[in-house]
Amino acid sequence: MVFVLIIAGVLWGIGHWMKVPVAARLKMLALLYVAVLAVQLAFPEGHFLRVLTGGSVAVWLLLGAGLVMVLAYRAILGRLRGRAEVLDAARTADAPVSAGSFSDVELERYARHITLPDIGGGGQVALKNARVLVVGAGGLGSPVLLYLAAAGVGRLGVIDADVVSLSNLQRQVIHTDLRIDMAKVFSAEAAIRGLNPHVDVRPYNRALSEDIAPALFGEYDLILDGTDSFAVRDMVNRAAVAAGRPLIAGAISAWEGQVTVYDPAGGAPCLACIFPQAPAPDLSATCAEAGVVGALPGVVGSMMALEAVKEITGAGEGLRGRMLIYDALHGETRMIVVKRRADCAVCREVSPRVGLEAGRGRAIVADK
């Protein structure tokens, strides 16, 4: 047995020296254990290999059973400790999770948020109470919808009139090959329900128009724009300003993307403050016209989802008054300051919200 323990020590030491992951080193020891059992079972009693490796299979079986019991105990203890940490964090958060706020399944699902000091129990409650509308279920809408659903946003609306096509699947990861020709909003709904059944999904299978946008936006606390047409973005911006809703906007083309928060009532500019006129056609090409690298919408859309979580929970500092520019081709990011225009044709009449808070649940209390 001493011989086997020496071999185990040498293997562990070599693995440590070569910086082999612990899981891989444990697998090596497991293989050594299986090999020792094979020797004990394959060779007759008294054989030098059996003697060298302990001489009795019973000893190794008892050792293995004891190790399994120890690992099982540690796993159960770790699970109980993790649950206790979640409940403790919920009790000590500034807006505690009440017994009726979340089921046991939800508490475990959102455990990593609840234990995060900047979100905590109160932030998770704010996410559950939030109503977020995503305009577009394409490249940017895909990661936005998936991450907001995973985060536990209570009501998640998505509006889009398009259907899933084969060329979408290079970047629109919420859709699948089996759902080609399905309306994108229903494809997204299926993916969201599969990811988190606790989310109330509201699919709107229609084109957004100036007639329905203001009323629809009024039903939600926060709007996220993932469209790829300047004309549609302009309409979304006007409707968000009219409804008094913060707008998290993302845009991508080829290798570059940008994210910002438009919110004149919160002191930030609107889209028209920065782009009072539509850019030249060669400067605002759609993804179909200019092309786009597949992973870029994932990066920019994830940034948009992160800004939404921050906006709802009040964590950190959002992108009001700032625009983040991401250059994927060169691996660079830039931050530029953007300001409201006193003569803006869209938001010049908007006054800052009274008592605007920089803390938790800012989007939720915007007009209440």
Within-domain flag for 242: yes
Q: How does pLDDT run across 188-203, given as a tens digit for each residue?
A: 999 999 999 999 999 9
Say whether both 85 and 205 belong to one domain: no
CB 152 within 8 A of CB 124: yes
**Structural domains of the chain, count:** 2
Helices 57-92 & 120-129, crossing angle to 10 degrees?
A: 70
Q: What is the residue-wise DSSP string for 36-49? A: HHHHHHHS-TT-HH
Confidence band of 7 (pLDDT split at 50, 70, 90): confident
64 belongs to a structural domain: yes
Residues 6+ apart with CB under 8 A from 2: none
Quick check: is 108 in a domain? no
Kindly state whether residues 19 and 166 are assigned to the same domain: no
pLDDT tens per residue, range 241-273: 999 999 999 999 889 999 999 999 888 999 999
For residue 241, being part of any structural domain is answered with: yes
Q: What is the pLDDT of residues 308-356, one digit of tens each?
A: 999 999 998 999 999 999 999 999 999 999 999 989 998 888 877 654 4
The pLDDT score that the predictor gives to residue 355 is 46
Task: Tell me, yes or no, whether 267 and 331 share the same domain.
Answer: yes
Do 166 and 259 belong to one domain? yes
Question: Per the domain annotation, does 111 fall within a domain?
Answer: no
What domain range is 175 assigned to?
130-337
Report percent pLDDT > 70 for the chain.
86
Q: Where are the alpha helices (DSSP H) in the chain?
A: 2-17, 22-42, 48-52, 57-92, 104-109, 111-114, 120-129, 141-151, 184-195, 213-218, 230-243, 271-274, 287-290, 296-313
pLDDT band at 358 (very low <50, low <70, confident <90, very high): very low
Q: Indicate if 138 and 31 belong to the same structural domain.
A: no
Instruction: For residue 174, name the pLDDT band (cuts at 50, 70, 90).
Output: very high
Residues 311 and 236 in one domain: yes
Among the residue ranges 30-44, 48-62, 196-210, the one predicted with the least confidence is: 48-62
Write down the pLDDT at residue 114: 87
**Do 277 and 193 have their domain in common?**
yes
Statement: residue 287 has pLDDT above 70? no
Q: Is residue 365 in some structural domain? A: no
| Domain harbouring 159, CATH code | 3.40.50.720
Angle between helices 22-42 and 57-92 (to 10 degrees): 150
Selection from 23-32, 99-108, 132-141 with the highest mean pLDDT? 132-141
Is 99 a residue whose pLDDT tops 90? no
Please indicate, yes or no, whether residues 266 and 215 belong to a single structural domain of this protein: yes
Both 76 and 222 in a single domain? no
If asked whether residues 196 and 259 sit together in one domain, one would say: yes
Does a structural domain hold residue 117? no
The pLDDT of residue 12 is 72
pLDDT confidence of 10, banded at 50, 70, 90? confident
pLDDT in the model for residue 145: 97
Residue that is written with structure tokens 């083309």 in the block: 253
Task: Look at residue 283 in the predicted model and tell me its pLDDT.
Answer: 59
Q: Sheet containing 332-337: which strands, arranged edge to edge? A: 200-204, 155-159, 131-135, 222-225, 247-253, 256-262, 322-327, 332-337
Confidence at residue 63, expressed as pLDDT on a 0 to 100 scale: 79
Position 69 scores a pLDDT of: 83
Is there a contact between 113 and 315 (Cβ–Cβ < 8 Å)? no
Share of the chain above pLDDT 90, in %: 49
- Mean pLDDT across the chain: 84
- In this prediction, residue 359 carries a pLDDT of 38
Residue reference for tokens 């895909």 = 142
Q: What is d(CA 323, CA 340) in angstroms, rounded to the nearest whole number?
A: 13
Predicted local distance difference test score (pLDDT) of residue 262: 95
Query: What average pLDDT does this structure show over 41-67?
Result: 77
DSSP bridge partners of 323: 260, 336
Same domain, 182 and 329: yes
Per-residue pLDDT, 95: 46
Q: Would residue 316 count as lying in a domain?
A: yes
Are 344 and 351 in contact by the 8 Å Cβ rule? The answer is: no
Instruction: Give pLDDT, residue 46.
Output: 75
Regarding whether 85 and 171 lie in a shared domain, the answer is no
- Contacts (Cβ under 8 Å, ≥6 apart) of 103: none
Band (85; pLDDT cuts 50, 70, 90): low
Question: How long, in residues, is the chain?
Answer: 368
